[in-house]
Chain A
Amino acid sequence: MKRTFTYKLNIVLFLLPALILFVGILIAPIIMSAYYSFHEFNLVANTDMEYKGLENYRILFSSMLTNPNTGKLYANSMYLGDALGHSLVLAALSTFIQLPLALIIALKLSKGIRGERAYLSIFFMPVLISTVIIGRLWMNIYDPGQAGLLNAGLRALGIDKWLFPAITNSIKSSKLPFTGQWTGFRETALIAAFIPILWQYVGYHMLLMYAGIKGVPADLLEAAQLDGCTEGQVNRFIIIPYIKPILKVCVIFAVTGSLKSFDLIYALMKDTSRAELPSTLMYKLLFLHQRYGLGSAIAVVLIVLCFLFAVLISFAFRDKGAKVA
């Protein structure tokens, strides 16, 4: 019995398709990216690789440093600092607004409310729509002209009268008045990008959590009810600790998703600079600036960050889980 199950050639053959794909298209490119990031070259002009050492990383990170001579930030058009800041804000919004919302809906729906299945289906539907389409649809919703749905709604309700001046006053990055250009200012563009993300993915997380809650053993819940626990107490002390592994997955998806997100911003705004994310910055450096080394350096930063956050989140959840148990 043992012999056939350990026969080395078979093991290799079974692993082969997956390994070829995984190593050839994922692991090798990442090693190549790391190698490229210490060089500069131009794919269009076919220039030779020029060794740059850590120069690319210095360029990227110097935008986050203060020049001791002037006391101002180093002037730099590669706003990696901004891009990282934006993706962290996006990650925080996703974790602290989107996930709780998804959890609340999942908790309510999983308790056997009438039409549970229909609600589930509707909330999950936007997940299946292409992000490009959602981006463009929301671009039209935010349109500052006559046709934009959001501004038309605000005008019809008379909210624009006080909301727009209030936003104008709170905008620091620009001297222009706010007249409904949601994607035009740094302060509003990121929120404008978050809303469609929330709209699209709340159902995704909700369904994951719903699945987890449905998996809570019925006798656990009954016992709690017999002990006279209120619904809130059941949620807090039984359900949420029980579905912790799924919550962990949701947080990892939400955070790494924010770091990775590209399609939506790209489709939502033609000029992405006001809500620049690491991935859109990478795209610009690669295909507009034609600086393939510098772009690869951002790719490496992205990979390291995604990995780091995944580990950190796992660690955070493991720690708290141990305390509850």
Chain B
Amino acid sequence: MNHAVEFQQVSRVFDTVHAVDRVDLTVAEGEFFSMLGPSGSGKTTCLRLIAGFEQASAGCIRIHGRDAAGVPPYERDVNTVFQDYALFPHMSVLDNVAYGLMVRGVARAARHRQAEHMLAMVKLADFGGRRPAALSGGQRQRVALARALINQPRVLLLDEPLGALDLKLREAMQTELKALQRQLGITFVYVTHDQGEALSMSDRVAVFKQGRIEQLSSPRELYNRPRTAFVADFVGGANVIDASLAQGLIGRAQAFSVRPEQMDFVSEGDGGIQLAGTLVDVQYHGAVSRYQVALADGRQLAVSRPNLLDATQVAPEPGQAVTVGWPAHAMVMLEA
């Protein structure tokens, strides 16, 4: 079976910087695949390598089994939704959407009919006559989506498409994007730095760090079984206990992670694994509160507790000495 996208030892070097460093990955046909990482981690460069805006310095990229080396963007069966949408300001919304058909020589009436159909699909049926400048950010985003989908690409590349939208709109668009992907059955390759977005939409997520894939797995596994300290911290916001501290706690010099919501304040006689420290800060988040605890050596732990409507729940105050504990099953052992 052909993979939609396949990277074999792909590198992209700018001068001396390895933006992408010997990356291997495969994206299955019809998959919602996310590339997650902080800025400068190489995820966007990977997307641009698939689109053809960048050429690999080394390694091999295949798109539907075909070697992509030297194939220009306009001959690739992929389309991109750009981060800044990149709508043509001198064309109407309808002409923007119809652009992909126009350059392929589809007659005016036919391409406008299809463009109107696409606009209806993204719920902008009456906006064809407007200029992009007359649309809101969310509407432009939909136009960019319609424009990228009109060529019926087998792979759709999305470069932080929701980054410029406000939270409410972003959540609504996440649901819509996922529904659209299921309905069309197209492979989505989605670049984001928002781990919540990646976890909620993706079939699989590749976590990038400094041009390399740190972990590639399902969202559930990524969250529950992070393999490295970076993934545990970046994806789950988990506490990482390093090897030297672990030696004293569990008698084994191997780093592990514990998620904040698995930790709680305990009293010394309670048993389980415990660490003593001082509470330095409390952040109220509504459903939960996050407690920042400083250990004796200056390292900090985060503890997350639900805020119950229960008068018996006693919350410690900043400055107070506390003992943090967690059950043994909450620990995820990390690779060195």
A binds B: no
B-contacting residues of A (Cβ < 8 Å)?
A: none
